[in-house]
Chains A and B, each alone.
Chain A
Amino acid sequence: MADRKRAYWEHFEHKADIGVRGVAACKAEAFEQAATAMTAVICDPAVVKAAEQIEICCQGDDDEILLVDWLNRLIYEMDIRGMLFGKFEVSIGNNKLQANVWGEKCDRQKHQPAVEIKGATYTELFVGKNDKEMWVAQCVVDV
């Protein structure tokens, strides 16, 4: 069971775009936090209601490709469905990711979305443990 108290997300600097980073005791939760960091590029994730649930599955040759795939699938689903996502439950095994994702239709008044995300990139891409033995999942997203 992950130590949820220690999990967090943050943004990091990139001149043209923005970096998203999730940090947690386990890899899957770091992926969840990275997804929250990505929603936070668009709007305040706390304002996004968990009204609708969708499932996402993806696959990658390694953890880093899997992270980029995961974030890009979320970008695709946001675009196609006109939704924003605020809650994520991820499980990872054998280079496969399965997730339940909750969110709601984007409402300009309510969510005040700042910017669309074009794609998750391989720039500053890293999935691994930091010096505090916490899992870090991060990359730059193109906006």
Chain B
Amino acid sequence: MDTKKFKRISEYQWQIEPCGKMRVPVIIFADEDLISEMDEKVCEQAANVAALPGIVKASYAMPDAHWGYGFPIGGVAAFDPDKGGVISAGGVGFDISCGVRALRTNLTIDDIEKVKKTLADLLAHKIPAGVGSRGKLSLSLSQLDDMLTSGGQWAVEEGFGTKDDLQYSEENGCMNGAKPSYVSDYAKNRQKNEVGTLGSGNHYMEVQKVVEIFDKNIADAYGLKEGGIVISIHCGSRGLGHQIGTEFLKKMAETAKDNGIDLPERELACAPLKSHVGQQYLGAMRAGINCAIANRQVLTHLVREALTTIIPKAELKLIYDVSHNTCKEETHKVNGKNKRLFVHRKGATRAFGPGSEQIPESYRCAGQPVLIGGTMGTASYILAGTKESEALAFGSSCHGAGRNMSRKAATKLWRGSDVVRKLASEGIVIRSPSMRGVAEEAPDAYKNVDTVVDAAEGAGLSRKAARLIPMICVKG
């Protein structure tokens, strides 16, 4: 991207003043190298978002931003319902509430090394992953409605976890305001047999070792120490979320004109928060959030079963579960006054700072855990939200490394079996039902996660707590 069009506000903050139909500025958080390598489309899409009704302060892009559909992936935008603000299905994405959860264990690197391949095999066997995989549960429509209403709480009541798990999930595991009645039967049918499945693409379950602690106080609050073992799960709301996204994108595109919205691109389809379609989507999207949390909760149960089968002493405690494709109703200070806003984070993580009442009490000294998924060959990070981020970007940070190359380009460069062999030589065991899938997700197809995280910290969006390296990766 040509940096000449930006006004550089600080080392990590780049701004474009409103022009044309833009109502607010575009602000991109990145270092000079990251912004130079960023797709021009990020800026174009962020500027389109800046033109939507009721947008507040700015249209933001995180350091891992790349070309999305409508909103850039890595995009953050807040809307004021009292000023005609909108909600956008594209601003949340097809995989509603896709997110990461991380669990700490009482295990050491040595405990895992001794059983690594056996454990990888059992995890791959236990966790339904890849195209067409079906979960072990088959839910009736009324059971699905219960799950969509209470999310992680439903999963725990069904025996797939502990009450402690809920305490350490965003929204205490249950997104209020979910309206299963606004979720179509098509969407529900897709989910009947998909609860507790990982999916495919960039979704994974990893056994990771903590290789570096950056801030001891934060790490202590999260129960992390160097040489410790963490389990991370990255997945979302599966077929149900995809179907909700598909249906409402169409509905919003069809009704935009009647709602007085002049869409710069059809893919920016949105509806006023105070409209019927807007409220319907909000209720359905919140049900999608519950579906994703329940899905990750059931997967957690499967991981616990597998791990304790191989290592009976293993204990897994949830550090946090955080989504990076959502629209959340939050209160933020705007011009010195508290405002109720709807914050879209598409490929961006909520990152509330110390003292926030929205995070578990034991984390209020440290800030909210921000879980950054890397690739199967590089690092993942656990960061902490900052007070500064709340002022900079409505309490948001990056979500991962971000792709640097298309899937097509990746398969031209690498073969899945070669990627698996190379990673094995580095001590990382990969299990995946698809070698082409592995090639498409090759570590070098992504940006350097270390650089992305450094930029997020440099910009003040979050603080580094710990760096993790994969030992086992089950890919979808």
Contacts of B90 in A (CB 8 A): 121-122
Contacts of B93 in A (CB 8 A): 142
Q: Is A26 in the interface zone, CB < 8 Å from B?
A: no
Q: Considering the complex, give the chain B residue whose CB is closest to the CB of A64.
A: B266
B69–A113 CB distance below 8 A:
no
Contacts of B225 in A (CB 8 A): none
**C-alpha gap A139/B122 in the complex (Å):** 39
**C-alpha gap A123/B407 in the complex (Å):** 16
Task: From known contacts A65-B253, A79-B190, A119-B242, infer whether A108 and B266 are also in contact, taking CB-CB under 8 Å.
Answer: no
**C-alpha gap A114/B415 in the complex (Å):** 12
Contacts of B68 in A (CB 8 A): 16, 123
Question: Which parts of A78-134 form the interface with B (CB within 8 Å)?
Answer: 79-80, 82, 106, 108, 112-116, 118-123, 125
B249, B266, B406, B435: the one within 8 Å of A15 (CB): B406
**C-alpha gap A61/B255 in the complex (Å):** 12
B243, B250, B436, B440: the one within 8 Å of A68 (CB): B250
B253–A116 CB distance below 8 A:
no
Contacts of B304 in A (CB 8 A): none
**C-alpha gap A42/B434 in the complex (Å):** 10
Question: Which parts of B221-271 form the interface with A (CB within 8 Å)?
Answer: 239, 242-243, 245-246, 249-250, 253-254, 265-267, 269
Q: Is A47 in the interface zone, CB < 8 Å from B?
A: no
Distance between A97 CB and nearest chain B CB, rounded to angstroms = 14
Task: From known contacts A11-B408, A76-B186, infer whether A118 and B435 are also in contact, taking CB-CB under 8 Å.
Answer: no
Give the interface SS of chain B, mostly helix, strand, loop or mixed: mixed
A69, A79, A112, A118: the one within 8 Å of B436 (CB): A112
Bitwise interface map of A from 49 to 90 toward B, beta carbon under 8 Å scored 1, else 0: 000000000000100110011001001100110100000000
Distance between A100 CB and nearest chain B CB, rounded to angstroms = 21
Contacts of A120 in B (CB 8 A): 246
B interface size (C-beta, 8 A)? 49
Bitwise interface map of B from 143 to 155 toward A, beta carbon under 8 Å scored 1, else 0: 0000000000000
B190–A80 CB distance below 8 A:
yes
Q: Considering the complex, give the chain B residue whose CB is closest to the CB of A10.
A: B408
**C-alpha gap A42/B242 in the complex (Å):** 17
Task: From known contacts A76-B186, A113-B434, A119-B245, infer whether A18 and B408 are also in contact, taking CB-CB under 8 Å.
Answer: yes
Contacts of A11 in B (CB 8 A): 408
Q: Is B352 in the interface zone, CB < 8 Å from A?
A: no
A79–B239 CB distance below 8 A:
yes
Distance between A64 CB and nearest chain B CB, rounded to angstroms = 8
Task: From known contacts A69-B250, A115-B201, A121-B267, infer whether A15 and B403 are also in contact, taking CB-CB under 8 Å.
Answer: yes
**C-alpha gap A120/B406 in the complex (Å):** 17
B94–A119 CB distance below 8 A:
yes
List 16 other contacts, CB 8 Å, given A15-B41, A75-B246. A13-B406, A15-B405, A76-B186, A108-B132, A112-B435, A114-B436, A116-B199, A121-B69, A121-B90, A121-B249, A122-B90, A122-B266, A122-B269, A123-B68, A123-B267, A142-B94
